[in-house]
Amino acid sequence: MNLYSAMTASRGQTGAELDFRSDTVTRPCSGMRAAMAGAAVGDDVFGDDPTALKLEAEMARLLGKQAAVFLPSGSQANLCAALSHCGRGEEIIVGRGYRLYADEAKGASVLGGIGFEALPIDEGGALDPEAIEAAVQPDDPHQAISRLLALENTVSGRAIPLPRLQDCARAASRHGLSVHLDGARLFNAAAALGCSVGDLAAVADSVTVCLSKGLGAPMGSVLAGDARTMARARRNRKLLGGGMRQIGIVAAAGLYALAHNVDRLPDDHRKAERLAHMLAVLPQGTCGWKVSQATNMVFVTPPSGQHARLAAHLAERGILAGGSPSLRLVMHKDIDEAAVSTLGQALLDFAQTLA
C-alpha cells in the first residue's frame, strides 16, 4: 500500500483528521457559505448570471486582462486555453513537470490534436529562455508548428521570479508564439515574490487562477486574457461540457475568497517555514532525510525503505498526507499552528524510531 492509499484508508478510522494532502481540501467557512446561499443567480450559458459576471470582471481587473471566463476546474481552464491558442497539428512548448503536460491526462493531445515539446526545468521550477528558442520548430512540413509557450507559477510550491518569466515570454515572442501562464497558485506566487498577480499575469496572453487551492473556494478556476481569445475559450468550455447554469452560487464563493483569503496566504507560507524549521534537526543526506520548503508546501523524503512505515505512523495519528517518494505537506486555511506542531512532532517521533 502506498502512502496516499494508507492515508485515505485511515479516513473514518481515526478521530480528528489533520489533512495536509493539498490546499484543495478546505471547507467553506460560515461567511463563505452565507455568501453562497445569498448569491444572485441567472443562467450562465445564456450569459446572465450576475454573480458569475461579477467574478469574471473582478478577476480580469486583478489580472490586467480584457475578459475572463469561469470554469469548473483548473484542468478544464488550461485545456480551454490550449484549444483557444492552438489548432490540430500545432504544438505547445512546456516544462516537463508542469501540470498541463504531466498532470492533466494530455487533454490537449487527446482532444485537440495538439503536440507537446516538453523541456527540462531547473531546480527553481523555471524554463531556460535559450532552450525555449532552440525548441521552436522551423517552418518545415516534417515538423509540428510551434504555437504556444506554457509557463507555470508556482511550480511544486516554488515561486518563479518575475524577471525569469519575462525572459521566457520574450523568447517566445521573438518567434511569434503566444504565452499561457498556469497560475493555479498565482496568488501564492505573488505573496512570496512581493508583487501583484497583475504583474505576473502581464507576461502572458492568457492566465488561469484556481479558486479552490490556496484561496479556499469549493470549486472553480478562472481563465483570463484578451476578449477574442476568451470568446474562443467560452465556446471551448461549452464543447468540453463546462457550460453551467446558476453558477452564481459557486461564483459567490470565489468573490468571497478574493475578499477574505488572499491577504492570509503569507500565514500558510509561515506555517510551512515553521514546519521545515522543526524538521531541520533530521539527519539529511543520501541515506537520511531530505526536507525542502517553498511557499505553502514542505517536501519530506524519509530514508530509503521507510515510506510504508511512515505512512502507517502518520495514519495512526489521523494525519493525512500525499506523495511518493516524498511527502508533500501543504499548509492551508484549515491548518492551524497546533496542527503544524502535531505533524512536526509526529515526524520527529518517527525519526526517533530509526535512530
Stretch(es) of the chain classified as CATH 3.40.640.10: 42-246
**What does the pLDDT read at residue 325?**
85
Q: Are 72 and 220 in contact (CB under 8 A)?
A: yes
Q: How much is the average pLDDT of 169-186?
A: 98
Spelled out in words, what is the top-level CATH class assigned to the domain 42-246?
alpha beta
Mean pLDDT of the chain: 94
- The answer to whether residue 287 scores a pLDDT higher than 90 is no
Please give the angle made by the CA atoms of 230, 236 and 240, to the nearest 5 degrees: 140
10 Å Cβ neighbour count for 263? 10
10 Å Cβ neighbour count for 162? 19
H or E element at residue 208? strand 206-210
Best CA proximity match to 140, nearest among 94, 89, 95: 89
**What does the pLDDT read at residue 16?**
52
**Residue 49, burial from CB neighbour count under 10 angstroms (0-12, 13-18, 19+):** buried
Q: What is the pTM of this model?
A: 0.94
- The answer to whether residue 60 scores a pLDDT higher than 90 is yes
**337-354 helix and 307-316 helix, angle to the nearest 10 degrees:** 140
- pLDDT category of residue 122 using cuts at 50, 70 and 90: very high
- pLDDT category of residue 3 using cuts at 50, 70 and 90: very low
**Grid coordinates standing for 51?**
454573480
CA pair distance 124, 325, nearest whole angstrom: 19
Q: Which residues contact 298 (CB under 8 A, 6 or more apart)?
A: 272, 275, 276, 279, 291, 292, 328, 329, 331
Distance spanning both ends of the chain, measured CA to CA: 24
What would the pLDDT profile of 197-252 be if each residue is shown by its tens digit?
999 999 999 999 999 999 999 999 999 999 999 999 999 999 999 999 999 999 99
Stretch(es) of the chain classified as CATH 3.90.1150.10: 3-21+263-354
3-21+263-354 CATH fold? Aspartate Aminotransferase, domain 1 (3.90.1150)
Residue-wise DSSP of 243-304: --SSTHHHHHHHHHHHHHSSTTHHHHHHHHHHHHHHGGGS-BSTTSBEEEEETTEEEEEPST
**What does the pLDDT read at residue 264?**
98
Q: How much is the average pLDDT of 161-177?
A: 98
